[in-house]
Structure 1
Amino acid sequence: MSYNKTASITAETINPRVKTFNYEPRGEIATLAERLQEELKKNPGSRPFQEIIYCNLGNPQALGQRPITFFREVLSLCDNPTLLHRDEARMLFSPCAIKRARKIIEAMPGRDSGPYTPSQGIRSLRQSVADGISGRDGYPSTPEHIFLTDGASSAINLTMQMLIRSEEDGILCPLPEYPLYSASIILHGGTMVPYNLSEARDWGLEIFEVKRSLEEARISGLTVRAMVVINPGNPTGQVLSITNQEEIVEFCRKEGLVILADEVYQDNVYVEDKKFNSFKKVARSLGYSEDDISIVSYHSASMGYYGECGRRGGYMEICGFGEGVIGVIRKVASVTLCPNIGGQILTSLVMDTPKVGDDCFERFLAEKENIHSSLVKRAKTLEDAFCSLEGVTCNKIEGAIYLFPRIHLPAAAIKAAKIEGVSPDIFYACRLLDNAGIAVVPGSGFHQISGRNRASGTWHIRCTILPGEDKINEMIPRLKAFHEAFMNEFRDRN
């Protein structure tokens, strides 16, 4: 029997959109790091370092961050409801966790964590999220406008699926950007409209730059439908001032743009003169209702002091969309049946934490504050280390979990990168990993500058602050020794 070979799937015949985008945080550097780690296992002592220090992914618990006890107790009980009927439960779990688990189990289909749930998520858990948002912002939220999702990523993809009709639809995105956005826009057939953040102004967002991008896109025939804002910033680590947020709200209201507010790092703010404010709160404080402006906000259980990335818990809150649109979103969400139930539970716990008077409150608060204070220390230590390197400038990290230092590379290093057929930041990052065992992400993976400014030649790396304090103290001498040798090597070639 013969078959038509032209009908088989090949690299040439798959959807071209899936070949167009890159996701550098899990790209070449991650692959090389895994290969080096295997080499070290097989041949200890084959490298001048004993292990890889992973600063490339925002993956807190993989790098030693301990889970919050209350969250894990509740999750354990919800997955094993029979424990609640055993005498040992009172010795193993706090009364606070037992009480919360009972309440959640009562709301689960079949009183178990195995069945499908409603596609939007279990209503009582959405109510907990809505109550948490109301308490945070001082303005009401409703569970009908909450969608529990498999992390913020799936919520963002769902939103792009709803907004983008063709390549003539544009989405404003910051540069540097988190590459999920460009990937999602490409996969759904739209066009990314970049606006540049200002490195000279601590990665600030300047409205005149956004206006320029919007006007150019409209002149080119695009219909720009939304504006992505990441606050606190990834990969840039800035926290927007409330004045800046007000400008953005006014701009988007005037131009008829949906605000897509990526707020997953809202519990990662490290400076006293800045605080997190949701875009919904800012819009309501300006007197704008749902009839005036549309906002979709995203949060995740992956970051903050919780760091439960593998649980894939998150939500989006939809404000300013009519019931007809929300009904369609529910329909599209139903295609995947439901978000995972563990992520739903965890997201509800993140937004409804123990309160003063609860028996587990003091332990919860101590764990939370220990994680946060350690992140503040690590951020400062790494910031100082990068600023001490020759030819490196690094803006202060105000929030999130990343530094985005700029590396002013010698001309000979740029030339050597060109000979190898890679960008200079990839060349530097590969050398750093190969010689010092430190994995970072090249800045080009975040589209560090837009095409019109490419000639300016800025090169960055993104480095997480997540390795433990002992690992960072071990890493800094390796970083400094590598960088000095690298600069000396290529300076001598000039």
Structure 2
Amino acid sequence: MGQKPITFLRQVISLCVNPDLLNNESFPADARERARRILQGCKGGSLGSYSDSVGVEVIRKDIAAYIERRDGFPSDPDNIFLSTGASDAIKNCLHLLVAGSGKTRTGIMIPIPQYPLYSAAASQLDAHQVNYYLNEDNNWALDIAELERSVKEARQHCTPRVLCVINPGNPTGQVLSKENVQEIIKFAAREHLFLMADEVYQDNIYAEGCAFHSFKKTMMELGPEYSTLELASFHSTSKGYMGECGFRGGYMEVINMDPQVKLQLKKLVSTKLCPPVSGQATMDCVVNPPQPGEPSYESFIKEKTAVLKSLAERAKLVAETFNSIEGVTCNTVQGAMYAFPRIALPQRAVEKAKSLGQAPDGFYALQLLEQAGICVVPGSGFGQREGTYHFRTTILPQPDKLKIFMDAFTAFHNKFMKEYAD
């Protein structure tokens, strides 16, 4: 996508991979200090050694310190589990929580539209997928009445035990308000649900008036009645301003988990030996970045700010352009990295798709790929309300390429709508 890596992150990782460079003064002193700190925590002083299954201790301490700074509440390194990207932690957590059979089988509440990792994990674990629909008319907000409908209906078939929330949203790009987060926490407590908060896009907030509110902080602020809720929250090196998805770095923090259950979680993660240690080191750079007064601080802040500013501009451009096209509507991209526009497909296009055995938005997406060379993911891949059609596209292309993409998309869409006009 043309995004340049953050220099400080790559410098620290380079030093960790090749410690012979630690005395090379062409690297900033703070990058060398971070690398030494990480390597001192690695067995044999090398990224090439296995770490503890839950992750390198010094990195877990740095993550706990980061969470404390972010939320203003204590974080225990023993509650931190490093992982192979956030995805692996999410799957491990779900694996831990699935039990029973028939009506006692675990139900996993998943937002629709959803990131397909959740439905795939539920299927793999033979859990019951419990859908709740985000409110497209209210910028994909999470409606508590919809959660209540969903959990009530699900109890006829299974035992809902888990509520998954993605904030900021993927594929929908919404950012939950603090009041919405509070309502969700209260709902989970009332219904005795384990809350899983996928917060990997927490750095990606663009819309005016929006802010990231972590579930942990909000829960603690609500006081003793809610601060004992079982919660797992997830973060990653793959998103944010970093975009270092290939390193497979991530973590989860679990709080209020019964010690005997947490012991089983540690056993579960130990079956995979350990997450990639290079990914753990990358995660450390994210939670322990250059501080004011350190040599790398100014260049780091400049690079980070430039990435996020450009993403905010692209988020605005994409939504505005889609909304200027007849037959396309798109909510504000408040956060994350995607737009999820709705397309008003003509009935003739719907019938043509069905005659080919394809989902209507899948047919549209294939035509878009074949005729314009543009690859999007149809909304049917994420789930959507019956009779509505969407697709997900990323806002990541650089501005010059994004304009080419939007021009090509507009030309295709107008041609498609004319060809299949009712």
In the superposition, the TM-score normalised over structure 2's length comes to 0.98
In the superposition, relative to structure 1, how do residues 121 and 289 fare at CA in structure 2: closer, same or farther (>3 Å)? farther
Quick check: 1:377 aligned with 2:313?
yes
- Secondary structure of 2:419's partner? helix
**Once the two structures are aligned, what percentage of the paired residues are identical?**
47
In the superposition, relative to structure 1, how do residues 84 and 290 fare at CA in structure 2: closer, same or farther (>3 Å)? farther
Q: Residue 185 of structure 1 corresponds to which residue in structure 2?
A: 122
Quick check: 1:252 aligned with 2:182?
no
- Secondary structure of 1:355's partner? coil
Q: Which amino acid aligns with 1:278?
A: S
Of 79, 99, 103, 2:37 maps to 103
Of 150, 155, 158, 1:213 maps to 150
The one of the two structures with greater contact order (alpha-carbon pairs below 8 A, sep at least 6) is 1
Of 160, 169, 178, 2:94 maps to 160
Q: Which amino acid aligns with 2:129?
A: M
Q: How many residues align?
A: 419
Give runs of aligned pairs for residues 26-37 of structure 1, distance below 5 A. Answer: none
Q: CA deviation at 1:166?
A: 3.8
- Secondary structure of 2:50's partner? coil
Q: Deviations over 1:404-444 (max 9, x none)?
A: 00000111111111111101100110111111111100000
Q: Which amino acid aligns with 1:386?
A: F
Q: Residue 20 of structure 2 corresponds to which residue in structure 1?
A: 82
Q: Which amino acid aligns with 2:25?
A: R
**Structure 1 vs Structure 2 CA RMSD:** 1.1
Q: CA deviation at 1:219?
A: 2.5
Q: Distance in 2 between matches of 1:323 and 1:192?
A: 27
Q: Distance in 2 between matches of 1:379 and 1:274?
A: 14
Quick check: 1:64 aligned with 2:6?
no
Give runs of aligned pairs for residues 145-156 of structure 1, distance below 5 A. Answer: 145-156=79-90
Q: CA deviation at 1:67?
A: 0.8
Q: Distance in 2 between matches of 1:291 and 1:285?
A: 8
Give runs of aligned pairs for residues 1-12 of structure 1, distance below 5 A. Answer: none
In the superposition, the TM-score normalised over structure 1's length comes to 0.84
Of 169, 183, 208, 1:272 maps to 208
Q: Residue 338 of structure 1 corresponds to which residue in structure 2?
A: 274
Quick check: 1:482 aligned with 2:412?
yes
Q: Distance in 2 between matches of 1:228 and 1:488?
A: 41
Runs (4 or more) in structure 1 with deviation over 4 Å come to: none
Q: Distance in 2 between matches of 1:97 and 1:107?
A: 16
Q: Distance in 2 between matches of 1:115 and 1:166?
A: 38
Q: Distance in 1 between matches of 2:156 and 2:224?
A: 29
Q: Distance in 2 between matches of 1:186 and 1:485?
A: 39
Q: Residue 123 of structure 1 corresponds to which residue in structure 2?
A: 57
Q: Distance in 2 between matches of 1:112 and 1:158?
A: 27
The answer to whether the 8 A contact 1:176-1:236 is kept is: yes
The answer to whether the 8 A contact 1:146-1:318 is kept is: yes
Q: Distance in 1 between matches of 2:405 and 2:122?
A: 36
Q: CA deviation at 1:290?
A: 8.1
The answer to whether the 8 A contact 1:166-1:189 is kept is: no
Q: CA deviation at 1:458?
A: 0.1
Q: Which amino acid aligns with 1:201?
A: N
Q: Distance in 2 between matches of 1:288 and 1:261?
A: 20
Q: Distance in 1 between matches of 2:37 and 2:151?
A: 48
Q: CA deviation at 1:487?
A: 0.7
Q: CA deviation at 1:353?
A: 1.0
Q: CA deviation at 1:289?
A: 7.4
Q: Distance in 2 between matches of 1:258 and 1:479?
A: 42
Q: Residue 169 of structure 2 corresponds to which residue in structure 1?
A: 233
The answer to whether the 8 A contact 2:220-2:227 is kept is: no
Q: Residue 302 of structure 2 corresponds to which residue in structure 1?
A: 366
Gaps of at least 5 residues in structure 2 are none
Q: Distance in 2 between matches of 1:291 and 1:139?
A: 11
Q: CA deviation at 1:288?
A: 3.4
Q: Which amino acid aligns with 1:350?
A: V
- Secondary structure of 1:438's partner? coil
Q: Which amino acid aligns with 2:125?
A: H
| Deviating more after overlay: 130-139 vs 165-174 | 165-174
Give runs of aligned pairs for residues 299-310 of structure 1, distance below 5 A. Answer: 299-310=235-246
Q: CA deviation at 1:272?
A: 2.5
